[in-house]
Amino acid sequence: MLSYEIALQEALSSVVSSPQVESMLLKDSLGRVLASDIYSPMNVPPFSQSAMDGYAFKAADLSSYQSLTVTGQSLAGHPFIGEVKQGQCIRIMTGAVLPAGCDSVIMQEQVETDGEEVRFQATVSQGQCVRACGHEYEQGELVLEKGCVISPRHIALLASLGCKSIDVFTPLTVAIFSTGDELVELGQPIEQGQIYDSNRYSLIAQLAKLNYLVKDYGIIADCPKKIEAAFTRANNEADVVITSGGVSVGDADYTKEVLEKLGNIEFWRIAVKPGKPLAFGYLSDSVFLGLPGNPVSAMVTFDKVAKPVLQKLAGEVSSTSLLQTAIVSSPLKKKAGRLEFQRGFASTNDSGELSVISTGSQGSGMVGSMCAANCYIVLPQEQGNVEAGEAVLIELFAANLA
Ligand code: AMP
Ligand code: MG
Protein backbone atom coordinates (compact mmCIF):
# COMPACT_ATOMS: atom_id res chain seq x y z
CA MET A 1 0.00 0.00 0.00
CA LEU A 2 1.29 3.45 -0.91
CA SER A 3 1.73 6.00 1.83
CA TYR A 4 -0.57 9.01 1.62
CA GLU A 5 2.28 11.37 0.77
CA ILE A 6 3.62 9.20 -2.05
CA ALA A 7 0.17 8.48 -3.49
CA LEU A 8 -0.67 12.18 -3.52
CA GLN A 9 2.66 13.09 -5.05
CA GLU A 10 2.19 10.43 -7.76
CA ALA A 11 -1.30 11.63 -8.56
CA LEU A 12 -0.26 15.28 -8.64
CA SER A 13 2.73 14.68 -10.85
CA SER A 14 0.78 12.55 -13.30
CA VAL A 15 -2.14 14.92 -13.98
CA VAL A 16 -1.67 17.65 -16.58
CA SER A 17 -3.48 20.94 -16.23
CA SER A 18 -4.65 22.68 -19.40
CA PRO A 19 -7.73 24.75 -18.57
CA GLN A 20 -9.14 27.29 -21.02
CA VAL A 21 -9.04 31.00 -20.24
CA GLU A 22 -12.04 33.33 -20.23
CA SER A 23 -12.53 36.96 -19.28
CA MET A 24 -14.99 37.67 -16.48
CA LEU A 25 -16.36 40.64 -14.57
CA LEU A 26 -14.63 41.01 -11.22
CA LYS A 27 -17.99 41.13 -9.45
CA ASP A 28 -18.80 37.62 -10.74
CA SER A 29 -15.38 36.11 -10.15
CA LEU A 30 -15.64 34.88 -6.55
CA GLY A 31 -14.08 31.42 -6.27
CA ARG A 32 -12.66 31.44 -9.81
CA VAL A 33 -8.99 30.87 -10.59
CA LEU A 34 -6.90 33.75 -11.85
CA ALA A 35 -5.46 32.85 -15.27
CA SER A 36 -2.78 35.54 -15.54
CA ASP A 37 -0.49 37.45 -13.20
CA ILE A 38 -1.83 40.85 -12.20
CA TYR A 39 0.53 43.83 -12.20
CA SER A 40 -0.60 47.03 -10.59
CA PRO A 41 -1.80 49.47 -13.27
CA MET A 42 -1.10 52.38 -10.91
CA ASN A 43 0.53 53.47 -7.70
CA VAL A 44 -1.37 52.45 -4.56
CA PRO A 45 -2.30 54.74 -3.01
CA PRO A 46 -2.40 56.81 -6.21
CA PHE A 47 -1.51 60.04 -4.32
CA SER A 48 -0.03 60.84 -0.92
CA GLN A 49 -2.90 61.19 1.50
CA SER A 50 -3.76 61.65 5.13
CA ALA A 51 -4.32 58.61 7.33
CA MET A 52 -6.14 60.71 9.98
CA ASP A 53 -8.51 63.60 10.48
CA GLY A 54 -6.24 66.47 11.59
CA TYR A 55 -3.83 69.03 10.19
CA ALA A 56 -1.28 68.72 7.40
CA PHE A 57 2.00 70.55 7.88
CA LYS A 58 5.68 70.60 7.01
CA ALA A 59 7.66 68.98 9.84
CA ALA A 60 10.63 71.35 9.43
CA ASP A 61 8.39 74.38 10.23
CA LEU A 62 7.94 73.28 13.82
CA SER A 63 11.52 74.21 14.72
CA SER A 64 10.69 77.91 14.08
CA TYR A 65 6.99 78.21 15.02
CA GLN A 66 5.14 77.74 18.34
CA SER A 67 1.89 77.21 16.51
CA LEU A 68 0.74 76.99 12.91
CA THR A 69 -2.05 78.91 11.18
CA VAL A 70 -4.80 77.08 9.32
CA THR A 71 -5.13 78.57 5.83
CA GLY A 72 -7.26 76.04 3.99
CA GLN A 73 -8.75 72.58 3.94
CA SER A 74 -8.28 69.32 2.06
CA LEU A 75 -11.26 66.97 2.14
CA ALA A 76 -11.51 63.48 0.61
CA GLY A 77 -12.34 64.09 -3.04
CA HIS A 78 -11.72 67.88 -2.68
CA PRO A 79 -7.98 68.57 -2.60
CA PHE A 80 -6.56 71.87 -1.34
CA ILE A 81 -5.39 73.91 -4.31
CA GLY A 82 -2.78 76.47 -3.48
CA GLU A 83 0.47 76.99 -1.69
CA VAL A 84 1.17 76.18 1.92
CA LYS A 85 3.68 78.71 3.20
CA GLN A 86 6.00 78.53 6.19
CA GLY A 87 4.10 78.62 9.47
CA GLN A 88 0.89 77.46 7.87
CA CYS A 89 -1.07 74.22 8.04
CA ILE A 90 -4.14 72.80 6.32
CA ARG A 91 -7.19 71.20 7.90
CA ILE A 92 -7.23 67.69 6.41
CA MET A 93 -9.50 64.64 6.56
CA THR A 94 -8.68 60.93 6.20
CA GLY A 95 -8.08 59.98 2.57
CA ALA A 96 -7.67 63.60 1.40
CA VAL A 97 -4.72 64.63 -0.77
CA LEU A 98 -1.69 65.78 1.21
CA PRO A 99 -1.22 69.39 -0.01
CA ALA A 100 1.98 70.27 -1.86
CA GLY A 101 4.51 71.59 0.63
CA CYS A 102 3.25 69.41 3.50
CA ASP A 103 4.92 66.14 4.53
CA SER A 104 3.15 65.15 7.76
CA VAL A 105 -0.24 65.10 9.47
CA ILE A 106 -1.08 65.46 13.15
CA MET A 107 -4.33 63.93 14.36
CA GLN A 108 -6.84 66.42 15.70
CA GLU A 109 -6.85 64.80 19.15
CA GLN A 110 -3.22 65.90 19.55
CA VAL A 111 -3.66 69.65 19.02
CA GLU A 112 -5.30 72.61 20.74
CA THR A 113 -6.97 75.15 18.51
CA ASP A 114 -7.60 78.82 19.11
CA GLY A 115 -9.39 80.35 16.14
CA GLU A 116 -7.05 79.71 13.22
CA GLU A 117 -4.10 78.87 15.47
CA VAL A 118 -3.14 75.22 16.00
CA ARG A 119 -0.84 74.33 18.89
CA PHE A 120 0.73 70.86 18.90
CA GLN A 121 0.34 68.87 22.11
CA ALA A 122 2.51 65.94 21.03
CA THR A 123 5.95 65.44 19.55
CA VAL A 124 5.85 64.63 15.87
CA SER A 125 8.02 62.92 13.32
CA GLN A 126 8.29 63.76 9.65
CA GLY A 127 5.95 61.68 7.46
CA GLN A 128 3.64 60.66 10.29
CA CYS A 129 -0.01 59.86 9.55
CA VAL A 130 0.67 59.96 5.81
CA ARG A 131 -0.01 57.16 3.34
CA ALA A 132 2.63 57.91 0.74
CA CYS A 133 1.91 57.58 -2.98
CA GLY A 134 2.90 54.04 -4.15
CA HIS A 135 3.62 53.00 -0.59
CA GLU A 136 1.68 49.73 -0.90
CA TYR A 137 2.21 48.96 -4.61
CA GLU A 138 4.17 50.80 -7.24
CA GLN A 139 2.79 50.95 -10.75
CA GLY A 140 3.91 47.78 -12.59
CA GLU A 141 4.53 45.77 -9.42
CA LEU A 142 3.31 42.14 -9.27
CA VAL A 143 0.17 42.08 -7.14
CA LEU A 144 -1.42 38.64 -7.59
CA GLU A 145 -0.13 35.49 -9.24
CA LYS A 146 -1.83 33.24 -11.75
CA GLY A 147 -3.48 30.30 -9.98
CA CYS A 148 -4.80 32.39 -7.11
CA VAL A 149 -8.37 31.47 -6.14
CA ILE A 150 -10.35 34.68 -5.98
CA SER A 151 -11.66 35.29 -2.45
CA PRO A 152 -13.37 38.40 -1.07
CA ARG A 153 -9.86 39.60 -0.09
CA HIS A 154 -8.65 39.45 -3.68
CA ILE A 155 -11.81 41.10 -4.96
CA ALA A 156 -11.13 43.99 -2.56
CA LEU A 157 -7.60 44.38 -3.86
CA LEU A 158 -8.47 44.07 -7.55
CA ALA A 159 -11.32 46.56 -7.20
CA SER A 160 -8.93 49.03 -5.55
CA LEU A 161 -6.75 48.70 -8.66
CA GLY A 162 -9.71 49.44 -10.93
CA CYS A 163 -9.78 45.95 -12.52
CA LYS A 164 -13.34 45.70 -13.84
CA SER A 165 -12.73 42.30 -15.42
CA ILE A 166 -10.05 39.65 -15.08
CA ASP A 167 -8.85 36.52 -16.89
CA VAL A 168 -9.89 33.30 -15.17
CA PHE A 169 -9.69 29.62 -16.04
CA THR A 170 -12.80 27.83 -17.25
CA PRO A 171 -13.96 25.66 -14.34
CA LEU A 172 -13.51 21.92 -14.45
CA THR A 173 -16.48 19.76 -15.30
CA VAL A 174 -16.79 16.90 -12.84
CA ALA A 175 -19.12 13.96 -13.33
CA ILE A 176 -20.24 12.21 -10.20
CA PHE A 177 -22.18 9.12 -9.34
CA SER A 178 -22.73 6.72 -6.50
CA THR A 179 -22.59 2.95 -6.89
CA GLY A 180 -24.50 0.47 -4.80
CA ASP A 181 -27.65 -1.70 -5.05
CA GLU A 182 -28.56 -0.63 -1.50
CA LEU A 183 -28.72 3.10 -2.30
CA VAL A 184 -31.94 5.05 -2.48
CA GLU A 185 -32.52 8.61 -3.70
CA LEU A 186 -33.77 11.16 -1.18
CA GLY A 187 -37.53 11.51 -1.24
CA GLN A 188 -38.06 7.77 -1.80
CA PRO A 189 -39.09 5.36 0.97
CA ILE A 190 -36.40 2.94 2.11
CA GLU A 191 -36.97 -0.75 2.44
CA GLN A 192 -35.19 -3.28 4.58
CA GLY A 193 -31.49 -3.35 3.66
CA GLN A 194 -31.49 -0.01 1.90
CA ILE A 195 -29.88 3.32 2.84
CA TYR A 196 -30.05 6.83 1.48
CA ASP A 197 -27.34 7.91 -0.92
CA SER A 198 -25.59 10.58 1.11
CA ASN A 199 -22.19 10.56 -0.61
CA ARG A 200 -23.43 12.19 -3.79
CA TYR A 201 -24.86 15.04 -1.76
CA SER A 202 -21.75 15.50 0.32
CA LEU A 203 -19.41 15.30 -2.67
CA ILE A 204 -21.52 17.62 -4.82
CA ALA A 205 -21.48 20.11 -1.94
CA GLN A 206 -17.70 19.84 -1.68
CA LEU A 207 -17.40 20.34 -5.45
CA ALA A 208 -19.73 23.33 -5.34
CA LYS A 209 -17.54 24.95 -2.68
CA LEU A 210 -14.64 24.59 -5.08
CA ASN A 211 -16.68 26.14 -7.90
CA TYR A 212 -16.54 23.26 -10.33
CA LEU A 213 -19.34 22.39 -12.73
CA VAL A 214 -21.05 19.21 -11.58
CA LYS A 215 -22.72 16.63 -13.77
CA ASP A 216 -24.83 14.48 -11.50
CA TYR A 217 -25.32 10.96 -12.87
CA GLY A 218 -27.28 9.71 -9.88
CA ILE A 219 -27.07 6.21 -8.48
CA ILE A 220 -25.68 3.34 -10.56
CA ALA A 221 -26.44 -0.25 -9.57
CA ASP A 222 -23.70 -2.77 -8.77
CA CYS A 223 -23.71 -4.09 -12.32
CA PRO A 224 -20.56 -4.02 -14.46
CA LYS A 225 -22.51 -3.24 -17.66
CA LYS A 226 -24.30 -0.28 -16.09
CA ILE A 227 -21.09 1.01 -14.48
CA GLU A 228 -19.32 0.70 -17.84
CA ALA A 229 -22.07 2.65 -19.59
CA ALA A 230 -21.92 5.38 -16.94
CA PHE A 231 -18.12 5.58 -17.16
CA THR A 232 -18.29 5.87 -20.94
CA ARG A 233 -20.85 8.65 -20.86
CA ALA A 234 -19.09 10.52 -18.06
CA ASN A 235 -15.76 10.22 -19.85
CA ASN A 236 -17.26 11.99 -22.86
CA GLU A 237 -18.88 14.76 -20.86
CA ALA A 238 -16.46 15.63 -18.07
CA ASP A 239 -12.82 16.41 -17.29
CA VAL A 240 -12.92 14.33 -14.13
CA VAL A 241 -15.10 11.39 -13.13
CA ILE A 242 -15.68 10.77 -9.43
CA THR A 243 -17.52 7.79 -8.01
CA SER A 244 -18.07 6.50 -4.52
CA GLY A 245 -18.47 2.91 -3.42
CA GLY A 246 -17.63 -0.35 -5.11
CA VAL A 247 -13.90 0.22 -5.07
CA SER A 248 -13.04 -2.30 -2.38
CA VAL A 249 -12.57 -6.07 -2.66
CA GLY A 250 -16.17 -7.16 -2.01
CA ASP A 251 -18.12 -9.42 -4.35
CA ALA A 252 -20.09 -6.48 -5.77
CA ASP A 253 -17.17 -4.08 -6.16
CA TYR A 254 -16.84 -3.54 -9.90
CA THR A 255 -15.36 -0.06 -10.15
CA LYS A 256 -11.78 -1.25 -10.40
CA GLU A 257 -12.59 -3.96 -12.94
CA VAL A 258 -14.40 -1.50 -15.23
CA LEU A 259 -11.67 1.11 -14.87
CA GLU A 260 -9.08 -1.51 -15.84
CA LYS A 261 -11.14 -2.36 -18.92
CA LEU A 262 -11.79 1.20 -20.12
CA GLY A 263 -8.70 3.00 -18.92
CA ASN A 264 -5.91 2.42 -16.46
CA ILE A 265 -5.40 2.40 -12.71
CA GLU A 266 -2.44 4.22 -11.18
CA PHE A 267 -3.22 3.08 -7.65
CA TRP A 268 -6.24 1.79 -5.79
CA ARG A 269 -5.22 1.47 -2.16
CA ILE A 270 -3.49 3.95 0.08
CA ALA A 271 -2.38 3.75 3.69
CA VAL A 272 -4.82 6.31 5.04
CA LYS A 273 -7.70 6.06 7.47
CA PRO A 274 -10.51 6.65 6.81
CA GLY A 275 -10.29 5.59 3.20
CA LYS A 276 -7.98 2.68 2.36
CA PRO A 277 -9.65 1.72 -0.94
CA LEU A 278 -9.26 4.65 -3.31
CA ALA A 279 -8.80 4.27 -7.04
CA PHE A 280 -6.93 6.87 -9.03
CA GLY A 281 -6.46 6.47 -12.75
CA TYR A 282 -7.54 7.55 -16.20
CA LEU A 283 -10.33 6.94 -18.65
CA SER A 284 -9.49 7.80 -22.26
CA ASP A 285 -10.39 11.49 -21.90
CA SER A 286 -10.70 12.09 -18.21
CA VAL A 287 -9.11 11.67 -14.84
CA PHE A 288 -10.82 9.09 -12.62
CA LEU A 289 -11.15 9.05 -8.85
CA GLY A 290 -13.02 6.16 -7.22
CA LEU A 291 -13.67 7.08 -3.61
CA PRO A 292 -14.65 4.61 -0.90
CA GLY A 293 -18.31 4.10 -0.08
CA ASN A 294 -18.25 4.79 3.64
CA PRO A 295 -19.51 8.36 4.00
CA VAL A 296 -16.70 9.70 6.22
CA SER A 297 -14.10 7.97 4.05
CA ALA A 298 -15.62 9.46 0.91
CA MET A 299 -15.65 12.93 2.41
CA VAL A 300 -12.14 12.81 3.86
CA THR A 301 -10.50 11.21 0.82
CA PHE A 302 -12.21 13.78 -1.36
CA ASP A 303 -10.74 16.53 0.80
CA LYS A 304 -7.26 15.08 1.20
CA VAL A 305 -6.71 13.35 -2.18
CA ALA A 306 -9.29 14.34 -4.78
CA LYS A 307 -9.28 18.05 -3.95
CA PRO A 308 -5.56 18.66 -4.52
CA VAL A 309 -5.78 16.74 -7.82
CA LEU A 310 -8.80 18.77 -8.95
CA GLN A 311 -7.09 21.99 -7.88
CA LYS A 312 -4.06 21.19 -9.98
CA LEU A 313 -6.26 20.34 -12.99
CA ALA A 314 -8.17 23.59 -12.50
CA GLY A 315 -4.94 25.61 -12.63
CA GLU A 316 -5.05 26.52 -8.96
CA VAL A 317 -2.02 26.98 -6.81
CA SER A 318 -3.22 24.77 -3.97
CA SER A 319 -2.68 26.04 -0.50
CA THR A 320 -0.50 23.91 1.73
CA SER A 321 -2.32 22.62 4.79
CA LEU A 322 -1.47 24.43 7.98
CA LEU A 323 -0.76 22.01 10.79
CA GLN A 324 -0.76 23.21 14.37
CA THR A 325 0.34 21.55 17.57
CA ALA A 326 -2.39 20.88 20.12
CA ILE A 327 -2.58 18.98 23.38
CA VAL A 328 -5.07 16.10 23.36
CA SER A 329 -7.44 16.16 26.28
CA SER A 330 -8.61 12.56 25.84
CA PRO A 331 -6.69 9.43 24.80
CA LEU A 332 -6.80 8.50 21.09
CA LYS A 333 -6.89 4.95 19.76
CA LYS A 334 -4.60 4.39 16.79
CA LYS A 335 -2.88 1.38 15.25
CA ALA A 336 0.42 1.84 13.45
CA GLY A 337 0.25 1.34 9.66
CA ARG A 338 -1.94 4.08 8.22
CA LEU A 339 -1.95 7.86 8.35
CA GLU A 340 -5.15 8.85 10.15
CA PHE A 341 -7.32 11.91 9.86
CA GLN A 342 -9.33 11.57 13.06
CA ARG A 343 -12.07 14.04 13.76
CA GLY A 344 -11.46 16.47 16.61
CA PHE A 345 -12.75 19.61 18.20
CA ALA A 346 -10.05 22.17 18.92
CA SER A 347 -10.26 25.10 21.29
CA THR A 348 -7.95 27.25 23.34
CA ASN A 349 -7.85 26.46 27.05
CA ASP A 350 -7.69 28.99 29.91
CA SER A 351 -3.93 29.35 29.60
CA GLY A 352 -4.25 30.12 25.89
CA GLU A 353 -2.94 26.72 24.73
CA LEU A 354 -4.51 24.97 21.79
CA SER A 355 -6.15 21.73 22.91
CA VAL A 356 -8.13 19.14 21.01
CA ILE A 357 -10.62 16.46 21.95
CA SER A 358 -11.74 13.54 19.81
CA THR A 359 -15.34 13.72 18.59
CA GLY A 360 -15.75 10.16 19.88
CA SER A 361 -16.29 7.01 17.83
CA GLN A 362 -14.37 7.27 14.61
CA GLY A 363 -16.32 4.76 12.52
CA SER A 364 -15.90 5.62 8.84
CA GLY A 365 -19.66 5.47 8.36
CA MET A 366 -20.44 7.96 11.13
CA VAL A 367 -20.94 11.32 9.47
CA GLY A 368 -21.88 12.86 12.82
CA SER A 369 -18.19 12.67 13.74
CA MET A 370 -17.49 15.13 10.90
CA CYS A 371 -20.30 17.47 11.96
CA ALA A 372 -19.11 17.60 15.56
CA ALA A 373 -15.55 18.37 14.44
CA ASN A 374 -13.77 21.58 13.56
CA CYS A 375 -10.45 19.95 12.69
CA TYR A 376 -8.64 16.80 11.70
CA ILE A 377 -6.29 15.25 14.21
CA VAL A 378 -3.51 14.17 11.87
CA LEU A 379 -1.76 11.07 13.21
CA PRO A 380 1.32 9.85 11.31
CA GLN A 381 1.37 6.41 9.72
CA GLU A 382 3.58 4.76 12.33
CA GLN A 383 1.97 6.44 15.34
CA GLY A 384 0.27 4.20 17.92
CA ASN A 385 -2.18 5.13 20.70
CA VAL A 386 -1.96 8.67 22.06
CA GLU A 387 -2.32 9.45 25.78
CA ALA A 388 -4.18 12.45 27.14
CA GLY A 389 -1.76 15.37 27.58
CA GLU A 390 0.42 14.43 24.59
CA ALA A 391 0.95 16.85 21.70
CA VAL A 392 -0.54 16.05 18.29
CA LEU A 393 -0.87 17.87 14.99
CA ILE A 394 -4.24 19.22 13.98
CA GLU A 395 -5.54 20.82 10.80
CA LEU A 396 -8.43 23.24 11.30
CA PHE A 397 -11.24 23.13 8.75
CA ALA A 398 -11.25 26.10 6.33
CA ALA A 399 -11.32 29.63 7.69
CA ASN A 400 -13.95 32.30 6.93
CA LEU A 401 -12.12 34.45 4.45
CA ALA A 402 -10.22 31.63 2.69
P1 AMP B 1 -18.62 -0.03 -0.62
O2 AMP B 1 -17.39 0.82 -0.73
O3 AMP B 1 -19.46 0.01 -1.85
O4 AMP B 1 -18.26 -1.40 -0.20
O5 AMP B 1 -19.48 0.60 0.54
C6 AMP B 1 -18.99 0.70 1.86
C7 AMP B 1 -20.08 1.17 2.79
O8 AMP B 1 -20.47 2.46 2.43
C9 AMP B 1 -21.34 0.32 2.75
O10 AMP B 1 -21.88 0.28 4.05
C11 AMP B 1 -22.24 1.10 1.81
O12 AMP B 1 -23.61 0.84 2.03
C13 AMP B 1 -21.88 2.52 2.17
N14 AMP B 1 -22.11 3.42 1.04
C15 AMP B 1 -21.70 3.21 -0.23
N16 AMP B 1 -22.08 4.20 -1.02
C17 AMP B 1 -22.77 5.07 -0.24
C18 AMP B 1 -23.43 6.29 -0.50
N19 AMP B 1 -23.45 6.81 -1.72
N20 AMP B 1 -24.03 6.92 0.53
C21 AMP B 1 -24.01 6.38 1.77
N22 AMP B 1 -23.40 5.23 2.07
C23 AMP B 1 -22.79 4.57 1.09
MG1 MG C 1 -21.01 -0.96 -2.64
Mean pLDDT, the chain, integer = 96
391-400 as b/e, with b when 16 or more CB fall inside 10 Å? ebbbbbeeee
* 3-state SS class at 332: strand
For domain 49-131, the question of CATH label 2.170.190.11 is answered with yes
Q: What is the pLDDT of residue 252?
A: 82
Q: Whose CA is nearest to atom 17 of ligand 1?
A: 293
Identify residues whose C-beta is under 5 A from ligand 2, the ion.
180, 245-246, 293
Pocket test for ligand 1, best of 176, 183, 204 (most atoms within 8 A of CB): 183
Q: What is the pLDDT of residue 180?
A: 97
Segment 31-72, tens digit of pLDDT: 999 999 999 999 999 999 999 999 999 999 998 888 999 999
CB distance 295 to ligand 1 below 6 Å: yes
Segment 9-22, tens digit of pLDDT: 999 999 999 899 99
For domain 4-19+170-313, the question of CATH label 3.40.980.10 is answered with yes
Instruction: Report whether pLDDT(318) > 80.
Output: no
Segment 118-135, tens digit of pLDDT: 999 999 999 999 999 999
CB distance 362 to ligand 1 below 6 Å: no
Segment 164-208, tens digit of pLDDT: 999 999 999 999 999 999 999 999 999 999 999 999 999 999 999
Q: Average the pLDDT over 328-339 and give the result.
A: 96
CATH of 21-42+144-169, one of 1.20.1090.10, 3.40.50.300, 3.40.640.10, 3.90.105.10: 3.90.105.10
Span from the CA of 374 to the centroid of ligand 1 (angstroms): 24
- The amino acid that residue 100 corresponds to is A
The gap from C-alpha 16 to its chain's centroid, in whole angstroms, comes to: 22
The gap from C-alpha 401 to its chain's centroid, in whole angstroms, comes to: 8
Instruction: Give Rg (Cα) of the chain.
Output: 30
CB distance 294 to ligand 1 below 6 Å: yes
243-264 as b/e, with b when 16 or more CB fall inside 10 Å? bbbbbbeeeebbbbebbeebbe
Q: Which CA distances in Å does 209 have to 124, 259, 370, 390, 399?
A: 50, 27, 17, 34, 13
Instruction: Report whether pLDDT(323) > 80.
Output: yes
Q: Average the pLDDT over 335-347 and give the result.
A: 97
Q: What is the pLDDT of residue 211?
A: 94
* 3-state SS class at 377: strand
Segment 87-121, tens digit of pLDDT: 999 999 999 999 999 999 999 999 999 999 999 99
Q: Average the pLDDT over 330-355 and give the result.
A: 95
CB distance 199 to ligand 1 below 6 Å: yes
CB distance 178 to ligand 1 below 6 Å: yes
Segment 216-270, tens digit of pLDDT: 999 999 999 999 999 999 999 999 999 999 998 888 889 999 999 999 999 889 9
Runs of H (alpha helix) within 24-120: none
- Per DSSP bridges, beta strands 21-25 and 165-169 are antiparallel
The answer to whether 4-19+170-313 and 21-42+144-169 have equal CATH topology is: no
For domain 324-396, the question of CATH label 2.40.340.10 is answered with yes
Nearest ligand, measured from the Cα of 195: 1
Spatial distance between the Cα atoms of 106 and 119, rounded to a whole number of angstroms: 11
Instruction: Report whether pLDDT(399) > 80.
Output: no
Span from the CA of 198 to the centroid of ligand 1 (angstroms): 9
Q: What is the pLDDT of residue 402?
A: 72
Torsion angle (degrees, nearest 10) of CA 117, 121, 127, 133 = -60
Q: What is the pLDDT of residue 162?
A: 96
Spatial distance between the Cα atoms of 344 and 395, rounded to a whole number of angstroms: 9
* 3-state SS class at 375: strand
Nearest ligand, measured from the Cα of 221: 2
To the nearest whole percent, how much of the chain has pLDDT over 90?
Answer: 93
Instruction: Report whether pLDDT(305) > 80.
Output: yes
Q: Whose CA is nearest to atom 5 of ligand 1?
A: 293
**Hey, where are the domains in the chain?**
4-19+170-313, 21-42+144-169, 49-131, 324-396
Pocket test for ligand 1, best of 219, 244, 276 (most atoms within 8 A of CB): 244
Cβ–Cβ < 8 Å for 99, 54 = no
Q: Whose CA is nearest to atom 10 of ligand 1?
A: 294
Cβ–Cβ < 8 Å for 334, 363 = no
Span from the CA of 252 to the centroid of ligand 2 (angstroms): 6
Spatial distance between the Cα atoms of 292 and 215, rounded to a whole number of angstroms: 19
Report CA torsion sign: 178, 179, 182, 185: positive
Cβ–Cβ < 8 Å for 141, 37 = no
